[in-house]
Amino acid sequence: METVLIDGKKISDEIKDELKIRVERLRGAGVVPGLAAVLVGDNPASITYVNSKAKACEKIGIYSEVIKKPKEISQKELTAVVRDLNERHEIDGILVQSPLPSHLDEHAVTLLIEPGKDVDGFHPYNVGLTLIGKPSFRSCTPYGIIELMRRYNIDPSGKEVVIVGRSNIVGKPLMAMLIQKQKGANATVTVCHSGTKNIAEICHRADILIAAMGSPAFIKSDMVKDGAVVIDVGINRVEDTGSSKGYKLVGDVDFEECRKKTSFITPVPGGVGPMTIAMLLSNTVLSAENRLKIQP
């Protein structure tokens, strides 16, 4: 079986090049798109993510601001930070990097973000619009997966899609996107999770198998149908004494075992990962276009 390795880095670069043109157009009309990222505490992965987001903004001409707060910040103080960002006209997108320290109520913070600036697509208003198939800010990782498939001419219409993982930021919104009676969707979707009894059997039915449960190399080759498309959303840090960092990144799919059976597969890193930031930038540019009321 000839396997195509899906190159998320290449596709995300293409998207960024397209966004750059839209940013120039906005700047020409006097609008500089702006993204504010709120980082609470010193979680190393969160620091890396937020810095990558800020750097990506800078590269395509989006203004970005990282608001760093100590891990002891109170709910009231964090509320004030978000409220202030909601009011600032030059800020088109607001994200609060998760996870937050355990004394903070993350859901309450999400509810505070003005839905028109919710470029993560986490606010229930945007989640609801996604569910009913109306334009909204779509959650970036599932949106990135939809975009990856579109650009590789993988049409989910009429296909059996199996998603493993029911998180609010990947599994559930991806299910909502894929069941729409719309181009690039229209799939029959099954969502597996920790309560599913016959996971291997269900995965084996999939024309398109999407692993998003955060369990290193969980998907083995006997769970994959010959010729399936396999999308790996997992980014797991596992110990690697041979690496200078002391860890390596592995997906939720046993890549070496599974790749031979697939028609298309995403690697980790370099598959879905780079798409999340590209779609965050895309949502931010869209928000700035809404501010100016121009069509993308």
- List residues binding ligand GUN (CB under 6 A): 95-98, 120, 140, 276
Could you tell me which of 130, 134, 156 has the C-alpha nearest to residue 145? 156
Residue 35 or 288: which CB sits closer to ligand GUN? Answer: 35
Phi then psi for 163, rounded to 5 degrees?
-105, 130
Q: 7, 16, 97, 232: which one is catalytic?
A: 97
Smallest distance, Å, CB 221 to ligand GUN?
A: 29
Distance of CA 290 to the CA centre of its chain: 21
Smallest distance, Å, CB 253 to ligand GUN?
A: 19
CB 49 within 8 A of CB 97: yes
CB 217 within 8 A of CB 187: no
Residue 170 or 224: which CB sits closer to ligand GUN? Answer: 170
Smallest distance, Å, CB 50 to ligand GUN?
A: 9
Q: Which two tokens stand for residue 55?
A: 């750097």
Smallest distance, Å, CB 121 to ligand GUN?
A: 9
53 carries an active-site annotation: yes
Q: 7, 92, 118, 120: which one is catalytic?
A: 120
The CA dihedral of 102, 50, 264, 5, to the nearest 10 degrees, is: -140
Smallest distance, Å, CB 174 to ligand GUN?
A: 13
CA 254, CA 236: separation in Å to the nearest integer?
12
Count Cβ atoms below 10 Å from residue 143 Cβ, excluding itself. Answer: 23
Residue 84 or 226: which CB sits closer to ligand GUN? Answer: 84
Could you tell me which of 229, 228, 231 has the C-alpha nearest to residue 213? 231
Residue 262 or 276: which CB sits closer to ligand GUN? Answer: 276
Q: Which two tokens stand for residue 191?
A: 């969502």
Residue 97 or 266: which CB sits closer to ligand GUN? Answer: 97
Q: 53, 117, 172, 225: which one is catalytic?
A: 53
CA 34, CA 150: separation in Å to the nearest integer?
28
CA 55, CA 52: separation in Å to the nearest integer?
5
Catalogue the active-site residues.
53, 97, 120
